[in-house]
Amino acid sequence: MTANNSTDQKLDKAVRVAVLGAAGGIGQPLSLTLKMNIHVKELSLYDVSPHVSGVAADLSHIDTPAKVSWHTPDNGGLPAALDGCDFVLVPAGVPRKPGMSRDDLFKINAGICAELASGIAQYCPTATVLVISNPVNSTVPVFAEVFKKNGTFNPRKLFGVTTLDSVRADTFIHEVMPDLNWGLIKVIGGHSGDTIVPLLSTVLGQDIKSLSHMQLHAINHRVQYGGDEIIQAKKGLGSSTLSMAYAAQKFFTTVLSSYLGLTDKNIACTFINTEFDNEALDGVNELKQIVRKLTGRPDLDLKYFAMPCVFGPNGIERVQYECLEHLDSTEVEMVKVCCETLPSNYSKGIDFVRGK
Ligand SMILES: NC(=O)C1=CN([C@@H]2O[C@H](COP(=O)(O)OP(=O)(O)OC[C@H]3O[C@@H](n4cnc5c(N)ncnc54)[C@H](O)[C@@H]3O)[C@@H](O)[C@H]2O)C=CC1
Ligand SMILES: O=C([O-])CC(=O)C(=O)O
């Protein structure tokens, strides 16, 4: 691969990335996108499945700088996979089959996530961690609690990947409004059914009135339940993998370019821990106050929430709470419904690690 001077400079800034669950439906195409990223100098693929060696061999023939390695519990294990990693992407765990909820995955995936989180805390404690494994509303708290136990938790660097919801919102709105700019729709709350809250009004403004109530409801519903559409179409052979890999690389690129200082003021929605005050995460106090006001629940304990965030070299720089200041009445209702379910989802992850 040839590189001009400015590319050379950027290549000086390159990272080591691990994918945990790299042999899976998401892991494989996601690893492909990472191998294609010139800012990835080392790509470490980990899976409990021995097929990961073949995935690594296949990717290693691609003519990009990233050096690919593979690891299983019998080949170096988590210590070798995670050593020196700047980023860890986690699509490990079981996917849904028709008729299952994301919550049904918790029993198996919580244990997998706890084990992987413990490895990260030990072998790359300062890494930025992107959690894809479902149910995101509960697995992100599993990671956070394990990191807290190990004294390595940093709320600026732990993200639940909810980008697929924004990608879907953008795609579905364009089916009825093809002239809109792309990539602007924010989706907040959580990543499961009616905890998913698309904020269409913030982008559409007055144009929202050109959509009927039924059209708006249909788009919101399709974003909330888009995952089921894929599961049905795949007829028992898994859930979204290709669109998820696309979404994860999109989010990773935003976080990475901020981390490397290649571009500034990068914004993306992600599921974050909101327990700590503004000193840990700027804008988080305002977020909690506004949600409490919107839901009419002054005592609402909001420990996790997906929000648009501004990223910088150290992870999240600021939570964009302002997006909550001008919601329309449909969106306020959706936030209320979200906040009825979300606390039990995140508490499940917290309790799992605390052994309740
Ligand atoms: N955040 C989101 O928007 C989305 C999340 N997902 C979730 O991502 C997860 C993965 O989905 P797929 O790739 O389709 O599943 P998959 O079954 O195709 O792949 C999962 C991989 O994880 C590996 N694995 C299992 N236990 C492991 C462990 N302890 N350590 C390392 N690897 C382990 C498996 O061997 C397998 O290769 C599921 O939980 C799914 O629900 C899926 C789509 C969207
Ligand atoms: O629906 C699922 O289980 C996978 C997922 O999270 C999505 O496609 O949004």
Which pairs count as long-range contacts for 165-170, CB under 8 Å and 24+ apart, including other chains?
A: 165/191, 165/196, 165/198, 165/223, 165/226, 165/269, 165/306, 166/247, 166/268, 166/269, 167/243, 167/246, 167/247, 167/250, 168/222, 168/223, 168/226, 168/243, 169/198, 169/200, 169/219, 169/223
Give residue-wise pLDDT tens across range 166-189: 999 999 999 988 888 888 799 999
Q: pLDDT at position 6, please?
A: 43
pLDDT at position 84 is 97
Could you tell which of 90, 137, 164 is best to mutate to test the pocket of ligand 2, judged by most ligand atoms within 8 Å of the CB?
A: 164
Q: Domains of the chain by range and CATH?
A: 5-161 (3.40.50.720), 163-342 (3.90.110.10)
pLDDT tens-digit map of 340-355? 999 999 999 999 999 9
Q: Name the closest ligand to CA 228.
A: 2
For ligand 2, whether the C-beta of 164 sits within 6 Å is yes
The residues assigned a catalytic role are 191
Q: What is the pLDDT of residues 219-250, one digit of tens each?
A: 999 999 999 999 999 999 999 999 999 999 99
Reported ipTM: the value is 0.99
Whole-number Å distance, alpha carbon 94 to ligand 1 midpoint, is 5
Q: Consult the annotation and say whether 318 binds a ligand.
A: no
Q: Is 168 annotated as a binding residue?
A: yes
3 has a pLDDT exceeding 70: no
Average pLDDT (63-83) is 98
Atom of ligand 2 nearest to the CA of 95: 3
- Banded model confidence at residue 1, pLDDT cuts 50, 70, 90: very low
